[in-house]
Amino acid sequence: MAFEIERKFLVLDSSYKHEAFSSSHIRQGYICSERGRTVRVRIRDTRAYITIKGPSADGGLSRYEFEYEIPLSDAETLMTLCQPGIIDKTRWLVKSGKHTFEVDEFHGDNEGLVMAEVELSSEDEAYQQPAFIGQEVTGDRRYYNSQLRSNPYRLWK
């Protein structure tokens, strides 16, 4: 059983690009995205995954998550079954202390939105925050990828 604990933040500037040790292109779609429950298909460069996420009982900080690698050809087929609104982004990995921040730079309908996440082993675990980290948006449903697919960032203005 997998349990995900993460904090999510807006990003202040593009300095993360110079601090990143890796980047990859991600496309993801949602077969199901109901409140608190999602089934996601993700293609990350040349690898593919299916992920099932459960509801959060603590304002979005933690929830069950099960992720499995699947054949790329299966993922491409599953993407055709997804709900409208594919998420397209570049993920940058930035080391900060003993943690790695995943910085997502969105493209397409979510162009201009940049968010960072850090996974923790407990809800009260301390972490070193990089200088590019801004406002915390953990638990704000507008920033969930499953919500960005149906209510993209370009419509917020």
Q: Looking at per-residue confidence, does 5 or 50 come out higher? A: 50
User: pTM, whole model, 2 decimals?
Assistant: 0.91
Q: To the nearest 10°, report the CA torsion of 58, 62, 63, 69.
A: 160
DSSP letter, residue 154: G
Q: Looking at per-residue confidence, does 143 or 36 come out higher? A: 143
Q: Is 144 a catalytic residue?
A: no
Q: Looking at per-residue confidence, does 58 or 27 come out higher? A: 27
> What does the mean pLDDT of the chain come to?
93
- Of the residues 30, 49, 143, 153, only one is catalytic, namely 30
